[in-house]
Chains A and B, each alone.
Chain A
Amino acid sequence: MGKYIFRRLVISIITIWLIATCSFFLLHMLPGNPFATDQILSQDMIDQLMDYYGLNEPLWKQYLTFMGNLLHGDFGTSYKYAGQSVNGIIAQKFPISAQLGLQAYLLSLPLGILFGIIAARKRGKAIDYGLVAFAVLGVSVPVFIVAALLQYVFAIKLQWFPVAQWKSFSYTILPTLTLAIGSIAGRTRTMRTLMLEVISEDYVKTAKAKGLSSAQIVWSHQIRNAIIPMIPNLGLEIVSILMGSFVVEQIFAIPGIGAYFVNSVTGLDYTMTLGLTVFFGVFVVGANFIIDLIYGLVDPRIRVVK
């Protein structure tokens, strides 16, 4: 087991290195430079900045510098936000997105699974159709519309919650709901489908034949088996939800990290993009590492071999 963990650890580190390297070269393949923004600078100014940040150096040299810094856990300084270290920006922004994401996750996970189970168990009944309708609406209405509607109804008309910003718990409710609705809907659909498959499995029939109570069957045979296929993407899912949502954060003026994932790429802020990518990558790889380890525990039929 120790040897196995060690091996996986080495692989994880190589994965992170690959992520950093691939992103670095792909990013530098994009045309343009970090200073080509809608604030048009003269060529002189751009040259000054390119020289200052060493962007006129050969690419391999820049790569070595980047890797050298990375080994010290230093992502460098943003090109757009001159003087701001990428580490600093992540430290300031990530907790906010993570809180929002976690709240939405904690709301959507149990509700989505519950709705999925109910819909599957009451298949063909009114409640099933109701939940399916909700699930479809939740997925087919884009998040910017949901956000605008919630904001309009609860903040402007009813004035129950503030319109935007991020100051106290009451400010978090509308954005959390916005994020959660979409993922509850998605999860309800997936869970319903998976449950339907499991319900007719032989082991469920066996359990029934053995006289287990309905609740026991649902809990220990159906749900457990239905959840398994959701696991492989769980790592990425948790991490993406922690990393914030561009749209929701923009609409509710939340100082999260979501917008940086988009703007740093379109604005070619190399250090920022790479810093976020590696940070994100470490999270995902770490989560997968743990999930791979526990995968076998959940489903005894699957053995992570060797």
Chain B
Amino acid sequence: MKKILAAMLSGAVVVAALGGCGTYTDDGTGSSSSSSTGSSSSESAGASTSETGESDAGTDNTSFTFIGGHPVTLNPILSQSTDDGNSFYLLESSLFRYTQEGVQNELCESYDVSDDGLTYTFHLRDANWSDGEPITADQFAYAIYCYTSPDMGCPGASTYYDIAGAEAFNTGSGSWDDVGVKAVDDSTLTITLTEPNDDFILSLATSAPTPLRQDFVEAQGESLGSSVDSLQYCGPYVLSDWVLDSSLTFTKNPEYWNADETFPMETITLLKVEDANTAYSMFESGEVDAMTSVSTQYKDALAEYTTVETGAGGMMYLWINQNGTSDEVGEVLSNQNFRNALNYAFDRNSTVAAICPLNVPYSRLTLPFYEGLKEGSSFVDEYPVDSAPLDGDVEKAQEFLNAALEELGMSSVDELPEMHFVTWDTSQQRLLCETLIDQWKQNLGIDSIVLDQYPIGTAIGNYTSNNYDIFAISISSSLTPYDALDNFVDGGDYNKGIWTNEEYDALVEQIKATSDKAEKYELTQQAEQILVDGAGIIPFYGLSSAFATQPYVSGFGIGDLAAGFQFEHLTINK
């Protein structure tokens, strides 16, 4: 679950790196639900109701053009990026749909859970593919076969490890027959889990496995999802035109089971415009109706069109590699006081305000969007941890530093070895690292931290092979606060031996073993405190999303957890 989220959500990294972002607000939801009924009649009304807009985008109210991230592949098996997921949201259906209102039943009309919490039985509704063929349970079973088969190379395979036998099958030690997915008949699918999991439905909704038809997938082979004709559609739209890295045209799919109630737009055009100045100009001149990201420099110019959603977009961290690029550096960086000196010495508030003002500075691990135990309150409010102040605390940082130097047997900061802050090529990333290095220099007198900038492939390669001392990169949000912590246990998804704490690992194990939510949260708080104190990973800021829409657009949403282009109730009224 965490892993597919990593794939689904990490697009926020890119977006944030470019200084932008995108999501929806509650206002949008509210106004859109009222307009959705009106708009379902607009199919026939078309342009007749349009006002005399100055816009060049045409005056019909059933087509929508926007600038956003483009999929690199529409092969559902090999897809790995958020941008792919966003488009799949419009093109395919799954058992559940993660909408602005939360998880909704999609192709699954209802489901039962066995008493032991292990077996889920899904009853599918009558629905068809865009070519009129019925959607059946064995298409789902075949799809999960594709996603977990060791021969298919699905990068998100581990998402399905909750399913009994899936891990063994995927790693080559088991067979498909033992995997707990069975199509009982055309409209009944059962899935058996390895252990009970309350979040399984949420996980299914966010990972959204699309059904696949065996004959078609086998006939397409490698070219599946590479063009308009090499993909089958069971979602609200079909793809009618696709110019790679340039434009995608979605046309409404009349066969979609809920076509009358939702997704009122007849055609949606998604443009890719990489240059922020050009995108702004196109928005300014009315050539497009919306943009999924707002670049920092146009923050003020676009203020009245922009919706900012803070929260689930992911989190930027500084990663401190305790092994270091050399033994000498390793010794310094494995000193907790030294790490904390770095942690306390920089001013998160003004750094974020200067470089990426749409984001929210943060110094703990769990993001504010996780719900608390009480209705309407959040986890972070109920379970505070003691962490570095957002303005920084130079005095405390110096105390940490002096303690560290004493422990290391050094008389001054000049004896510190050269440390490598590794990053990649975007200018925002560079600015961010430059100012951190400068703040450490100004506040602590450390001038032995150097910035190593590489092309992105090389930089991330260095990150994955632990060939860095300090690295700044964001990762996506997890579904729950304890999932977020699980990433950082020794050997966890994002902690390949850079930080180890047995107490922490034991607590995370304990969280997993507990089923009581309150207890889970309490343990989570304890574990988080250890992680924050340890400063192996230094939280920096939470990524926001910001998108701009023309005033006549309502219901535009990208949704939290970046589930996709949530245009269920998107309407325009020029």
Contact = CB atoms under 8 A, between A and B. Distances in A.
Given A38-B460, A88-B226, A259-B245, A164 B282 contact: yes
B392 to A, nearest CB: 27
A52 to B, nearest CB: 2
Given A39-B14, A84-B226, A267-B457, A89 B244 contact: yes
B210 interface: no
A155 B281 contact: yes
Contacts of A66: none
Interface in B440-477: 455-458, 460-464, 473, 475
B158 A250 contact: no
Contacts of A51: 153
Contacts of A36: 456-458, 460-461, 463-464
Contact of A31 (B222, B273, B462): B462
Given A49-B153, A83-B225, A38 B285 contact: no
B488 to A, nearest CB: 13
B17 A81 contact: no
Given A48-B154, A48-B155, A163-B287, A84 B457 contact: no
A39 B153 contact: no
A168 interface: no
B230 A83 contact: yes
Interface string B256-283: 0000000000000001111101100110
Given A37-B456, A164-B281, A250-B275, A80 B153 contact: no
Contact of B271 (A81, A88, A253, A266): A253
A256 to B, nearest CB: 9
Contacts of B271: 165, 253
Interface string B280-298: 0110110100000000000
Contacts of B72: 80-82
Given A39-B82, A48-B153, A253 B158 contact: no
Given A77-B222, A156-B285, A164-B273, A39 B244 contact: no
B274 A41 contact: no
Contacts of B284: 156
B6 A42 contact: yes
Contact of A40 (B154, B274, B473): B473
B223 A85 contact: yes
Contacts of B287: 162-163
Given A36-B457, A38-B424, A255 B246 contact: yes
Interface string B1-33: 001001100110110010000000000000000
Which of A30, A32, A51, A152 counts the most B-chain CB atoms under 10 A from its CB? A32
Nearest to B77: A82
Interface string B349-393: 000000000000000000000000000000000000000000000
B80 A31 contact: no
A79 B273 CA distance: 22
A75 interface: no
A159 B285 CA distance: 9
B7 A41 contact: yes
Contacts of B511: none
A252 B493 contact: no
A266 B11 contact: no
Contacts of B464: 36, 40, 43, 46
B14 A38 contact: yes
Nearest to A88: B226
Contact of B243 (A152, A250, A255): A255
A129 interface: no
Contacts of A148: 277
Nearest to A256: B246
Contact of B458 (A32, A38, A41, A44): A32
Interface in A47-67: 48-49, 51-53
Contact of B81 (A31, A39, A266): A39
B457 A40 contact: no
B78 A83 contact: yes
Contacts of B11: 39
A38 B493 CA distance: 16
A13 interface: no
A169 B3 CA distance: 46
A34 B460 CA distance: 10
Nearest to B425: A266
B226 A253 contact: no
A213 to B, nearest CB: 51
Chain A binding surface SS class: loop
A80 B226 CA distance: 12
Given A42-B158, A77-B222, A163-B285, A52 B456 contact: no
Given A80-B72, A155-B281, A253-B271, A33 B461 contact: yes
A32 B460 contact: yes
Nearest to A165: B271
A268 to B, nearest CB: 5
A245 interface: no
B80 A253 contact: no
B156 A45 contact: yes
B520 interface: no
A93 interface: yes
Contacts of B282: 163-164
B431 interface: no
Given A38-B13, A40-B6, A82 B75 contact: yes
B310 interface: no
B506 interface: no
B459 to A, nearest CB: 8
B475 to A, nearest CB: 6
Interface string B224-254: 1111001000000000000111110000000
A152 B281 CA distance: 8
Contacts of B13: 38-40
Contact of B155 (A45, A81, A84, A250): A45
A222 interface: no
A152 to B, nearest CB: 8
B79 interface: yes
B465 to A, nearest CB: 8
A48 B171 CA distance: 9
Nearest to A249: B274
B303 interface: no
9 contacts: A40-B494, A44-B157, A45-B156, A51-B153, A83-B223, A84-B244, A159-B285, A253-B278, A266-B457
Interface of B: 3, 6-7, 10-11, 13-14, 17, 72-75, 78-82, 151-158, 222-227, 230, 243-247, 271-275, 277-278, 281-282, 284-285, 287, 424-425, 455-458, 460-464, 473, 475, 493-494, 496
Interface of A: 30-46, 48-49, 51-53, 77, 80-85, 88-89, 92-93, 148, 151-152, 155-156, 159, 162-166, 250-255, 259, 265-268
Given A38-B424, A41-B6, 12 more contacts: A38-B10, A38-B14, A39-B82, A40-B10, A44-B158, A46-B464, A83-B223, A85-B226, A151-B277, A152-B281, A163-B281, A163-B282
